[in-house]
Amino acid sequence: MACSSPANIIPVGTIQQPTIDSWVEVDQVNRIAFVNPNGDLFTVDPDGGGLAQLTGPLQAEGGPEGGIQSQSLRMNEYYAWPTWSADGMKLAASRVLVEEDGIRITLEVLDSRTGRSETVYENTQTGLVADGAPHYIYWAPSGDQLSFLASTKEGLSLFRWDGTPGNQAEAIFSGGPLYYQWTKDASGMVLHIGPDLIWAKPLAEGNARQFIQSAGNFRVPAISPDGNSVAYVDQTEAGMGLYIAPASDLGQTRRILDVGSPAAFMWSPDGTQIAVADQSVFRAPVYDRLMLAPVDGGQVTTLVSGPSASEVWAFFWSPAGDRLAWVSVNAEVRELEWVVSSSDGSDAKKLFSFQPSAEVFIMLSFFDQYGYSHSPWSPDGKFLVVAGSKGEVARRSNGRTPTGDRIYSLDVEGSAGPRDLGAGVLAVWSWN
């Protein structure tokens, strides 16, 4: 492939040296990765300290002896949708390079301390998987495997990279729409491709794959934390129901809850209940009910219910499963608001009103997929991170506010206001 300059040719498997101060190393436990408005990738401590730039040359930057090294700005390159590996040592992100002869899209894996990167995939098509998203990227919950969705000539394809430097990513599934979740031990996946529900463990093709069809109106199936059960939505005699089936035999199902259409759901980290959002009014723009359903068939706890209540756009379990955070919609002022409660539904607390960045808009629109790959929660479950601009309520209580999208850290437990970490369009917390 011809390119405008040899420096821009990045074959798959190429290791790139960082263009920043690579001799500075930062402890990666409890870090936030974010993309600034120029499309450069940074990491930062929750208190705003320890800022490290991983991509993008600077006009002038310090050398190892304190000297200044001049660098030209690359305005034709940007990074998007960073996500952390399970151990916090790596980040994966999309890279877009605008050249005279077209647009090149690659998927990069970066050392989260130094910015040293490797190209593990180059797109053959320039299509997006969602607005503003060249890929959907999802590290395995353990180990070094990386999965991602990309647009190919076959349509939407799911790739897996085994984590070995120099190895190429391989397509393992194609079709659309395509949603999926890794098992906790990274040995398999459950997928929802079109009408098909697929249990693939191991991921290699063969008799280990189970296929059933579901007519349910949902996106992402859910795997129990122990990997033994799968939850999904299917039709009932009168509507839709949430079903649980053993992973060993998806045909042996039991219904635990009648749900509206569509529905979205995620298993609690302790495996005892499933959070479910659904609609009582068909084709409503967001969900109007949020429930906690015990998997043993116990009493359902309703957190939000009814058209007159604050509508629910998205929700996310805390890492320990002791809290559930959700984003409610205030239609009157056209703002969103973070709300958090205990896992039993008590002590609901409003945290922050805001307007999401374009990237956060996509993340919230597909929260039941992004919740597995891009965590807004701090590892200890005490904070949330979000990108956007303050809403009217937040501006009234905090005085003058910088304009444009910014990164905010929200204190879940205390009474402190949102901490402004700087300008940015997307932020995601490390898993550890």
The confidence score (pLDDT) of residue 27 equals: 58
| Residue segments in the chain with a per-residue pLDDT below the cut of 70 | 1-28, 58-75, 205-207, 282-283, 306-310, 392-402
Three-state SS at 357: coil
Query: What is the Cα–Cα distance from 305 to 301, expressed in whole angstroms?
Result: 11
- For residue 309, what pLDDT is reported? 56
CA distance 248 to 230: 10
pLDDT of residue 1: 34
Task: Tell me the residue length of the chain.
Answer: 432
Q: Is the peptide bond before 177 cis (omega within 30 degrees of 0)?
A: yes
Q: Please tell me the distance from the alpha carbon of residue 130 to that of residue 132, in angstroms, as a whole number.
A: 6
Q: Are 277 and 263 in contact (CB under 8 A)?
A: yes
Report field, pTM of the whole predicted structure over 0.85 = yes
Under 8 Å between Cβ of 213 and 191: no
Q: How many C-beta atoms lie closer than 10 Å to residue 26's C-beta?
A: 16
Position 228 scores a pLDDT of 96
- Quote the CA–CA distance of 280 and 138 in Å, as a whole number: 31
Please give the pLDDT value at position 393.
53
Distances (CA, A) of 417 to 21, 72, 91, 399, 409: 33, 38, 29, 12, 9
* Predicted local confidence at residue 17, as pLDDT: 42
DSSP secondary structure of 130-196:
BTTBS-EEEE-SSSS-EEEEEEETTEEEEEEE-S-TTPPPEEEEE-SSEEEEE-TTSS-EEEEETTE
CB 260 within 8 A of CB 240: yes
Q: Tell me whether residue 11 is exposed, middle or buried, using C-beta atoms within 10 angstroms of its C-beta: 0 to 12, 13 to 18, 19 or more.
A: exposed
User: Residue type at 182?
Assistant: W
Backbone angles phi, psi at 368, to 5 degrees: -70, -15
pLDDT at 3: 34
